[in-house]
C-alpha cells in the first residue's frame, strides 16, 4: 500500500499550524475566581435559565434564524435583511474573511484580539498590524492610528471597539476617513455595552462598506451558548447568509438571545454594576507602585507591571486562586488583563495585588 502523507492533501499554509489556544481551566473551578475570559460574572437572566430548562427538542435540527434576526433588528432599529447571525462573533468574523478575495489585505492595530490574525491566516489572507504605540495611564481612552500608506478602495480594516485588551475605543474620524475612501471596514463591538461611546451601527445605514459585529456573550452572559451577529448592507448580508453553513446556531442559543433582548433593561443593570466595579477597581490600584491600571471602556482592565514578568504575576495570582490573562507576545510582555467580576471578586484581587506590591 502506498504510504499516506497528510501533507499531500492539506493547503501548505495550514501544515503544522500552532493554532489559537483556547483557555484551559483547573478541574475544580469552584475554588477559583475566574477573571481570564471577559465573561459576565452575573450570567444570563433568570428567564433564560428557566426557559432553557424546558427545552425538549434536542432531537430536532435548529430552527431558522429568522425570528432572532427580527428581534435583533427591532432592538437596533435596522432591518432583518441587514443581519447575519453566527455561532458567536468569532464565527461571523471567519465567515466574512472566508468570503473575501484572496488578494485582499486585512489591516488592524496591535495589540488587539488574536482571532483576527488567526482567521486571516486560516483563510490565506495577507495581514498587516499597525502598532499604536506605548500604552500608559495617561493614554486617552480613544485611540487614533496612522496608516502606513494611503488606503485603497480594496483594503479591508477590522477594529475592536472597545479594543481588547487595551480597553480603548477607536477614533470616529479615523473610521469615517476609511469609509469615505471606499475601504471595507469591520467594527467588532463585543464590548460596546460597557463603553460610553456610541455604537457604529447607525452608520451602516449611510455606508454600504461598513460591517458592525456584536455578541450576546458579554452583556447578556451567554458566552457558553455562542451567539453573535453582524449588521451590514442588505445585499452583502444576503450574500453572506447564502454561503453560511446551516444549523450552526442551536435552538438553546436562539431562545436565550431572544429572551435576553426581551429582558434588556434587567441585564443593563448588571452592565452598570460591572462599569461601577471597574472604575472602583482602577481607583483601588492608584497607590500601588508596582502596577498601573490603565483606563478601560470594556469589562476588563489592562494592568502594566513595573516589576517581575507577566508569567510570574500570573503564577502568583493562580496561587491566590485567581485566574487572569497573560500574553506571550513581546508587545504585551509587561501586561496582564483582568476581567471585571463582582465587587467581592475585585476586592480580593486588589488585596492580592497589594500583597504583591509589598513583596
Per-residue pLDDT tens over the stretch 300-313: 999 999 999 999 99
3-state helix, strand, coil in the chain (%, to 5): 40, 15, 45
Q: Which residue has the higher pLDDT, 148 or 68?
A: 68
Distance CA 163, CA 190 (A): 9
User: pLDDT of 262-300, one tens digit each?
Assistant: 999 999 999 999 999 999 999 999 999 999 999 999 999
**Nearest-angstrom CA–CA distance, 35 and 324:** 5
Q: pTM for the whole thing?
A: 0.93
Q: Which three cell numbers stand for residue 90?
A: 468569532
Start and end residues for every CATH 3.90.1150.10 domain found in the chain: 6-44+265-358
Distance CA 338, CA 291 (A): 13
State the pLDDT at residue 124.
Answer: 94
Q: Which CATH class is domain 54-263?
A: alpha beta
Question: What's the average model confidence in pLDDT over 46-66?
Answer: 91
Structural contact between residues 105 and 126, judged by C-beta atoms closer than 8 angstroms = yes
DSSP category for residue 358: H
Instruction: Summarize pLDDT for 211-264 with one digit per residue, the tens.
Output: 999 999 999 999 999 999 999 999 999 999 999 999 999 999 999 999 999 999
Per-residue pLDDT reduced to its tens digit, 57-70? 889 999 999 999 99
Hey, how many other C-beta atoms are within 10 angstroms of the C-beta on 316? 17
pLDDT at 176 over 70: yes
Question: Smallest Cα–Cα separation from 296: which of 221, 196, 201?
Answer: 196
Q: What is the pLDDT of residue 18?
A: 73
Burial of 176 (0-12, 13-18, 19+ CB in 10 A): middle
Please tell me the predicted confidence (pLDDT) of residue 330.
82
Inform me whether the pLDDT recorded for 140 exceeds 80: no
Q: Tens digits of per-residue pLDDT, 5-34?
A: 878 788 888 877 776 666 667 777 888 999
3-state secondary structure string, 197-217?
Answer: CCCCHHHHHCCCCEEEEEECC
Measuring CA to CA, which residue among 309, 327, 288, 296 is closest to residue 135?
Answer: 296
- CATH 3.40.640.10 range(s) for the chain read 54-263
Residues 6+ apart with CB under 8 A from 358: none
| Residue 290, all three cell numbers | 508596582
Q: Could you read off the pLDDT of 76-94 as tens digits, one per residue?
A: 999 999 999 999 999 999 9
Please tell me the least confidently modeled range out of 90-94, 106-110, 137-141, 346-350: 137-141
- Please enumerate in sequence order all residues whose Cβ is within 8 A of that of 105, keeping only pairs 6 or more positions apart, or say none: 125, 126, 127, 128, 155, 156
* Assigned CATH for 6-44+265-358: 3.90.1150.10
Strands (E), the chain: 33-34, 83-86, 105-110, 126-131, 142-143, 156-160, 169-170, 184-188, 210-215, 228-231, 291-293, 300-305, 322-323, 325-326, 335-339
CA distances in angstroms from 160 to 88, 167, 191, 263, 312, listed in the order given: 15, 9, 8, 26, 28
Amino acid at each position: 500500500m502506498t504510504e499516506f502523507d497528510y501533507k499531500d492533501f492539506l493547503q501548505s499554509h495550514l501544515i503544522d499550524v500552532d493554532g489559537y489556544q483556547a483557555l484551559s481551566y483547573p478541574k475544580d473551578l469552584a475554588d477559583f475566581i475566574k477573571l481570564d475570559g471577559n465573561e459576565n460574572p452575573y450570567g444570563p437572566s433568570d428567564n433564560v435559565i428557566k426557559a432553557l430548562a424546558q427545552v425538549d427538542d434536542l432531537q430536532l435540527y435548529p430552527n431558522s434564524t429568522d425570528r432572532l434576526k427580527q428581534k435583533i433588528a427591532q432592538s437596533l432599529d435596522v432591518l432583518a435583511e441587514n443581519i447575519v447571525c453566527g455561532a458567536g462573533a468569532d464565527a461571523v468574523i471567519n465567515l466574512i474573511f472566508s468570503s473575501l478575495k484572496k488578494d485582499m489585505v486585512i489591516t488592524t492595530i496591535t495589540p488587539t484580539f488574536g482571532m483576527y490574525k488567526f482567521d486571516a491566516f486560516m483563510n490565506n489572507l495577507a495581514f498587516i498590524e499597525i502598532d499604536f504605540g506605548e500604552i500608559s495611564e495617561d493614554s486617552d481612552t480613544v485611540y487614533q492610528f496612522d496608516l502606513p500608506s494611503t488606503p485603497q478602495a480594496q483594503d479591508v480594516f477590522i477594529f475592536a471597539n472597545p479594543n481588547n485588551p487595551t480597553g480603548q475605543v477607536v477614533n470616529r474620524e479615523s473610521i469615517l476617513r476609511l469609509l469615505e475612501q471606499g475601504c471595507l471596514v469591520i467594527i467588532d463591538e463585543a464590548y460596546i455595552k460597557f463603553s460610553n461611546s456610541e455604537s457604529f451601527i447607525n452608520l451602516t445605514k449611510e455606508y454600504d462598506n461598513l460591517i458592525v459585529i456584536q455578541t450576546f456573550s458579554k452583556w447578556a452572559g451567554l458566552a457558553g451558548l455562542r451567539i453573535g451577529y453582524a449588521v451590514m448592507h442588505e445585499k452583502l448580508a444576503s450574500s453572506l447568509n447564502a454561503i453560511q453553513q446551516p444549523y450552526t446556531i442551536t435552538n438553546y442559543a436562539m431562545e436565550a438571545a431572544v429572551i435576553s433582548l426581551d429582558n434588556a433593561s434587567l441585564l443593563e443593570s448588571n452592565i452598570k454594576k460591572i462599569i461601577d466595579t471597574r472604575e472602583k477597581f482602577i481607583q483601588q490600584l492608584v497607590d500601588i507602585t508596582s502596577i498601573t491600571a490603565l483606563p478601560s471602556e470594556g469589562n476588563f482592565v489592562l494592568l502594566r507591571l513595573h516589576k517581575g514578568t507577566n508569567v510570574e504575576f500570573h503564577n502568583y495570582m493562580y496561587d491566590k486562586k485567581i485566574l487572569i490573562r497573560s500574553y506571550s507576545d513581546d508587545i504585551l510582555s509587561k501586561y496582564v488583563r483582568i476581567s471585571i467580576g463582582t465587587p467581592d471578586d475585585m476586592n480580593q484581587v486588589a488585596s492580592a495585588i497589594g500583597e504583591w506590591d509589598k513583596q
